[in-house]
């Protein structure tokens, strides 16, 4: 009987696939994006995530494949945790938009590791966000993802120590807007020869109007006595 293909949990959001060699099996596993060969350990790893175990079983249909039972238990645990988070968000009256954002971030976070959040260490959580920052996401996206994970560990799992030292991205310094002098403003308007265009620009500038507001402006909107728009 041919040796079985074995699938078990790995580290850092990976699954370990012990694949007895045949050229056909190697070609099959190479069709999985993100797969890696580890020559020293003599096994492959693939990204853990929803549907990956099922994909491997389907990919190697006809081969004997042994899946670590812990993987099945962990997917059930992930679903249970997401339900608990949703209930806690509802109790705290978070907005529907926050529900959607937090659950989306947590689904990606948990699927990345492929196992129950209770088993993760602070270093693993930190490494996840280090990879996220390196991937080039915006500061606001990263900050929201951190808020979601902190909510999970503080309010649902009651393990705040896991995320206690998790830093938030530093906000960039905001520079003051450039302010034109009176002379610069005057020269700006004097550069417009068309009288109608100059009048429109003066009204926008003096009234602090948006272009869309100026486009909808009517004569009835002008108060001649008070000299107001």
47-92 pLDDT per residue, tens: 987 678 889 989 998 889 998 887 776 667 788 899 999 999 999 9
pLDDT of residue 96: 94
Site of tokens 């900050």: 143
Dist. CA 123–CA 170, nearest whole Å: 20
Per-residue pLDDT averaged across 148-158, rounded?
A: 97
Where, residue-wise, is CATH 1.10.150.130 in the chain? 73-162
Provide the CA 74 distance to its chain's centre, in angstroms.
Answer: 22
Please state, for a pLDDT cut of 90, what percent of the chain lies above it.
48
pLDDT of residue 44: 97
What is the token pair recorded at 170? 């530093």
pLDDT of residue 227: 75
pLDDT band at 173 (very low <50, low <70, confident <90, very high): low
pLDDT of residue 206: 83
pLDDT band at 174 (very low <50, low <70, confident <90, very high): low
pLDDT of residue 15: 92
pTM of the full structure: 0.52
Using one digit for the tens of pLDDT, what is the confidence trace for 182-224?
Answer: 888 889 888 988 988 888 888 888 888 888 888 888 888 877 7
CATH number of 73-162: 1.10.150.130
Per-residue pLDDT averaged across 17-25, rounded?
A: 94
pLDDT band at 163 (very low <50, low <70, confident <90, very high): very high
């Amino acid at each position: 009987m041919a040796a079985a293909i074995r699938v078990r949990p790995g580290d850092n959001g990976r699954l370990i696939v012990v694949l007895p060699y045949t050229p056909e099996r190697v070609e099959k596993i190479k069709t999985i994006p993100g797969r890696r060969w580890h020559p020293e350990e003599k096994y492959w790893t693939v990204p853990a995530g929803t549907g990956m175990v099922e994909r491997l079983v389907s990919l190697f249909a006809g081969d004997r494949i042994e899946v670590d039972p812990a993987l099945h238990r962990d997917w059930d645990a992930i679903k249970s945790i997401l339900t608990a988070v949703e209930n806690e968000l509802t109790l705290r009256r978070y907005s529907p938009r926050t529900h959607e954002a937090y659950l989306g971030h947590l689904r990606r976070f948990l699927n990345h590791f492929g196992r129950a959040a209770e088993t993760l260490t602070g270093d693993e959580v930190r490494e996840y966000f280090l990879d996220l920052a390196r991937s080039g996401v915006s500061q606001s996206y990263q900050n929201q993802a951190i808020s979601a994970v902190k909510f999970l560990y503080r309010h649902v799992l009651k393990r705040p120590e896991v995320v206690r030292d998790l830093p938030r991205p530093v906000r960039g310094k905001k520079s003051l807007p450039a302010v034109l002098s009176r002379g610069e403003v005057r020269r700006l308007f004097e550069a417009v020869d068309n009288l109608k265009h100059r009048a429109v620009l003066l009204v926008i500038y003096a009234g602090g109007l948006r272009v869309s507001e100026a486009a909808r402006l009517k004569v009835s909107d002008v108060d001649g006595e008070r000299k107001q728009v």
